[in-house]
Amino acid sequence: MKVLVRSIASVMTGTLLALGILGAHATLLPIVAHAQIIEESAGNGSTIPLPTSIGDLVQIALALLGVVAIVFIILGSITYATAGGNDDQQVEGRRVISSGVIGLAVILSAFAITQFVIQSLAQASQ
C-alpha cells in the first residue's frame, strides 16, 4: 500500500507540475508578447479584463489542487484504516493525512489571497 500511495503521489505531482508549467506559459505568453492590456471577448459583445481571466485560471487550478489534497486525505485514511495493527502503516497513514490537511490549508489560504487580489484589481480598474 505504501508503494501504491507513493506511486500515485508521484504521478499526481508530475501531472500537476506539467499542467502548472503549461498553464503559466499559456497565461503569461500574451503579456510578454504584447506588453499591453489585452482583453478577450466574452462572446456577448462585452470584454473580460486579462487580470480577471488570469484570476479565474488560478482559481480553477487551486480548485483542482484542493481535490488532489482531499484525495491524499482519503488515501491516508484508507492506509490508516487498513493497517491492521501494523505500526509502520499507521504512521504512514497519519503522515499522508497530515500532509493532505496542511496542503488543503495552504490551498485555501492561496484561494483567499487570490480572491482579495482579483477584487482589488477589479475595483481599481473601475
At residue 33, the pLDDT reads 45
- Specify whether the CB–CB gap between 122 and 94 falls below 8 A: no
In the predicted structure, residue 97 carries a pLDDT above the cut 60 = yes
What are the tens digits of pLDDT across the range 47-85? Answer: 666 667 777 788 888 888 888 888 898 898 888 888 888
- For residue 45, what is its C-alpha cell? 459583445
At residue 55, the pLDDT reads 76
Question: Domain locations in the chain?
Answer: 53-126
At residue 102, the pLDDT reads 92
The alpha carbon of residue 75 and the mean position of all alpha carbons in its chain are separated, in whole angstroms, by 18
Q: Between residues 116 and 52, which one has the greater pLDDT?
A: 116
At residue 63, the pLDDT reads 86
At residue 45, the pLDDT reads 56
**What does pTM read for this prediction?**
0.59
Identify the CA nearest to 19 among candidates 71, 52, 56, 62: 62
What are the tens digits of pLDDT across the range 3-56? Answer: 666 666 555 665 655 555 555 444 544 444 444 444 444 556 566 666 677 777
At residue 8, the pLDDT reads 63
Specify the 3-state DSSP secondary structure of 37: coil
